[in-house]
């Protein structure tokens, strides 16, 4: 511990900057009190988060129509950032939306020919910057 260690809130702008720089986030859901957490590849654009997953995946099943939390961090030796976003996730079904999603160029670690796209619309974004 040092007296110099501090946590500073980020502005919305700064939080989206962090979200724009990273590629891997973790999406958490709760269904009937059962908490799940998934590491996901994502893209952030126009203040939305896009996640690509396989049809029928557990993520696609349970992330939808529920409140989710999504977290991204960047941990350095003397400086760290964490952004947590809360909101809802939906599966994209309209061609226009899917075109928007595909325009992000997002690929996943395990890629699939006909992905399902999730779009997260945030209701709350909070970021913190840690220094020590």
Residues near a copy of itself (CB under 8 A): 1-2, 5-7, 24, 26, 28-30, 33-39, 67-71, 73, 75, 80, 82, 84, 86, 109-113, 130, 132
What's the closest the beta carbon of residue 2 comes to a copy of itself, in angstroms? 7
Write the DSSP string, 10-79.
Answer: PPHHHHHHHHHH--EEEEEEEETTEEEEEEEEEEEETTEEEEEE-TT-HHHHHSBTSEEEEEEEEE-SSE
Residue with Cβ nearer a copy of itself (79 or 103): 79
The residue ranges of DSSP E strands in 76-115, in sequence order, are 79-91
Tokens of 14: 């700064």
- Choose between 47 and 67: whose C-beta lies nearer to a copy of itself: 67
Which residues are 11's β-sheet partners?
none
Compute the least distance from the CB of residue 106 to a copy of itself, in Å.
13
CA distances from 36 to 2, 21, 31, 39 (A): 35, 25, 8, 10
Whose Cβ is closer to a copy of itself: residue 1's or residue 96's?
1
Toward a copy of itself, which CB reaches closer, 26 or 48?
Answer: 26
Smallest distance, a copy of itself to C-beta of residue 125, A: 13
CB of 117 vs a copy of itself, minimal distance in Å:
15
């Amino acid at each position: 511990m040092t007296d110099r260690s501090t946590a500073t809130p980020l502005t919305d702008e700064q939080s989206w900057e962090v979200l724009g720089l990273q590629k891997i986030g973790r999406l958490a859901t709760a269904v009937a009190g059962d908490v799940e957490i998934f590491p996901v590849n994502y893209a952030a654009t126009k203040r939305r988060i896009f996640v690509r997953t396989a049809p029928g995946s557990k993520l696609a099943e349970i992330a939808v129509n529920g409140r989710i939390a999504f977290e991204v961090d960047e941990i350095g030796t003397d400086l760290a950032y964490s952004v947590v976003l809360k909101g809802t996730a939906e599966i994209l079904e309209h061609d226009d939306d899917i075109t928007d999603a595909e325009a992000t160029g997002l690929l996943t670690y395990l890629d699939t020919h006909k992905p399902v796209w999730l779009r997260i619309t945030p209701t709350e974004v909070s970021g913190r910057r840690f220094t020590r």
